[in-house]
Amino acid sequence: MRITLNLSAADSTRNRYALVWAIPATLVGLVGLVLLEHAGVRVLHEYQGVQRQVAEVQQREDALRKKEAVIRKDLERPESREMLAQARFVNTLIEQKQLSLAELAARIADLLPDDARLTGLALTSKEGEMTVRMAITGKSEDAVETFLGDLEDAPDFKDVTIINQGFDEEGAQPGQVNIACTAHYLPGAQP
C-alpha cells in the first residue's frame, strides 16, 4: 500500500490572485523597460549631437584665435603702427571739428526767403573768428532786405556788412537784385 502525502500548503485566494496578476504585471514591466531603454538611447544620441556641436564651436574658436594672432602680428609691424597712428590723428581732428561747410550752407539756406537764392559762399578764419562772405540774388529788393533782416536777427551771425549791391538790368531776368555781404559766424550760438 502506498501512501501519498501532499506537503504543499493549500492554495489561498491571495496566492491565486497573485498568480492571475503576475502575467500582466510582467508584461507592463517589460513594456516600461523597453520604453526606458528607448528614452535612454534617444538621450544618448542627443548628448552625442550636442558634444559634436561643442567640438565644432571649439574648432571655430581655435581658428578665430589663430586668425587673431596673425592679425595682431600684422598690426605690430611698423607700417601698420604708422597707419594706426595716422588714423587716430584723423579721428582726433574729426572729433575737434568745429564747423561743417554743409551745415553753414544749410543754415544760410534756412534764412533765405523763397524768392532769393545763394549764389556764392566763402569762409575765412582769422584769429579764431570766422567770417562768411555770401553772394545773394533776389527777385526783388524786398527779398534781399528780408534776408538781411533775418541774418541780422540770427543768433549765430553778427556784424552783417553789405559789401556790394547791384541790379541786373540786362541778364536773363532783368530787375534782379544782387548783393555781396559778410558776417561773423558763431557756430556754437545756433538756436
Radius of gyration of the chain (CA): 47
**Short-list 132, 135, 142, CA closest to 165:** 135
Tens-binned pLDDT, residue by residue, of the chain (191 aa): 687 777 777 677 887 788 888 889 999 999 999 999 999 999 999 999 999 999 999 999 999 999 999 988 888 888 888 888 888 877 776 676 656 777 888 888 888 888 888 888 888 877 767 888 989 988 888 888 898 898 898 888 888 888 888 876 655 566 788 889 998 887 765 55
CATH of the structural domain 101-189, one choice from 3.40.50.300, 3.20.20.140, 3.30.70.2830, 3.40.50.720: 3.30.70.2830
**For residue 171, what is the DSSP state?**
S
pTM over 0.85: no
**Short-list 156, 116, 150, CA closest to 132:** 156
| pLDDT value for 172 | 54
The answer to whether 155 and 191 are in contact (CB under 8 A) is: yes
Please tell me the total number of residues recorded for the chain in this structure. 191
The answer to whether 113 and 73 are in contact (CB under 8 A) is: no
Q: Where are the domains of the chain?
A: 10-97, 101-189
